[in-house]
Amino acid sequence: MTAALSLRSLGKRYGLASAVEDVTLDIEPGEMVVLLGPSGCGKTTTLRMIAGFVEASGGDILLDGHSIRRLPPHRREMGMVFQSYALFPHLSVARNVAFGLEMRGVPRAEREAQVAGMLRLVKLDALAARLPRELSGGQQQRVAIARALAIRPRLLLLDEPLSNLDAALRQDVAREMRLLQRARGLTAIMVTHDQTEAMAMADRLVVMRAGRVEQIGTQEDLYERPATPFVAGFIGHSNLLPGTLHEGHVLQVPGSSITLAQSYGLVGNATLAVRPERIVLAPPGTHPDERALGRVELSTYLGAVVEHVVRLGPETQVVVTGASSGAGAAHRFPAGMAVALCWTADSERLFNAA
């Protein structure tokens, strides 16, 4: 199957500085891919090269197997939604949605039918005559989405589309957008720096760092099998513990040592990553999977979970979370108590220092 969109060694330089370097990615028809990474990692630049607003310095962009690198933005047939909704303030909701169709010379009757359909889809049919300023932020964003979809884009580009919405609305709109994208089989790329939002929206995620792709995968790939400490730390919370590895399975950290659940072929400096919810606390000497000893510094009830902060050494703290109630509820230990940190082999990941 031909990918809906292929990026081939895509790059962008500004003078001597490289904003995006060697990005290669295939997006399947109907897939939603999210570009995720910290500020300045090159997400927006990548999206703008796909849209045609920024000219690539190297590489290629293929839409359904054909290069679009030389096409101007308006001939790329992409629908775009930005964080500022960029609606026309003097046009009604319906006229905003109709705009792209008018530009393309779609006859009036057909246009009106399509606009009505789009407005029903985003549940704004009752507000068709209003002006943008008479709408809430979430409603404006839905108009922007309807406008982008009205032209039946070959690709939908979303640049932080939810960042102007408050937290409660953000989840609702995210869910609606996801359902809409699925229902219409739209191929889409979204840019965000918010990992929760990325996890909620994506079929696959691309984690970027300093202009390069760090890892591509599903939510589970990235969470369960992060390729680098950067990904482990960026997707969910990881306890990243740098130390020196001895005999393949003893990680020396300042003031303490951790007996790993398996042996590794690494030598010298290494970084261990263990998710907080994969660690069990027990009184020392009572659990078969005991890995390290520490002392509870903080024990906090957070509603669904309890969180313990355990100190292993002067520079080493480990966060442990467990269910606060129910069948698998975590035992709570008071601050000051000596505890064993316990986990099994499938819960630890060891990274080479390099």
Position 110: which residue type? E
Residue from 11, 32, 33, 43 in contact with ligand ATP (CB under 6 A) = 43
**14: contact with ligand ATP by CB under 6 A:** yes
What is the side-by-side order of every strand in the sheet holding 239-246? 256-259, 250-253, 239-246, 268-274, 348-352
Shorter beta-carbon distance to ligand ATP: residue 42 or 294: 42
CB of 190 to ligand ATP, least distance (A): 12
- 19 forms part of the interface with ligand ATP (CB under 6 A): yes
Task: Say which DSSP state 53 is in.
Answer: S
Q: Identify the residue among 6, 44, 114, 215 touching ligand ATP (CB under 6 A).
A: 44
- How near is the Cβ of 10 to ligand ATP at its closest, in Å? 12
Nearer to ligand ATP by Cβ, of 76 and 193: the residue is 193
Q: How far is the CB of 36 from ligand ATP (least distance, A)?
A: 9
Q: Which amino acid is at 151?
A: I
Rounded-to-integer distance, Cα 37 and Cα 336, Å: 37
- Which residues in 174-193 contact ligand ATP (CB under 6 A)? 193
Please name the residues in contact with 165: beta carbons below 8 A apart, sequence gap of 6 or more.
Answer: 137, 138, 141, 173
d(CA 182, CA 9): 28
- Size, binding site for ligand ATP by CB under 6 A: 11
Would you call 265 exposed, middle or buried from its count of C-beta atoms within 10 A (0-12, 13-18, 19+)? exposed
CB of 5 to ligand ATP, least distance (A): 18
Q: Got the DSSP string for 145-177?
A: HHHHHHT--SEEEEESTTTTS-HHHHHHHHHHH
Look at phi and psi of residue 71 and say left if phi exceeds 0, alpha if psi is from -120 to 50, else beta. Answer: beta
**Phi (first) and psi of residue 75, to 5 degrees:** -100, 5
Residues 6+ apart with CB under 8 A from 76: 51, 52, 63, 68, 154, 155
List 39, 167, 303, 354, residue binding ligand ATP (CB under 6 A): 39
* CB of 46 or CB of 299, closer to ligand ATP: 46
Nearest residue (CB) to ligand ATP, 37 versus 153: 37
Q: How far is the CB of 20 from ligand ATP (least distance, A)?
A: 7
Stretch that binds ligand ATP, among 33-41, 63-71, 145-153, 264-272 (CB under 6 A): 33-41
For residue 75, the minimal CB distance to ligand ATP (Å) is 23
> Does the protein bind ligand ATP through residue 45 (CB under 6 A)?
yes
* Shortest distance in whole angstroms from residue 107 CB to ligand ATP: 39
40 binds ligand ATP (CB under 6 A): yes
Write out the residues near ligand ATP by the rule CB under 6 A: 14, 19, 37, 39-45, 193
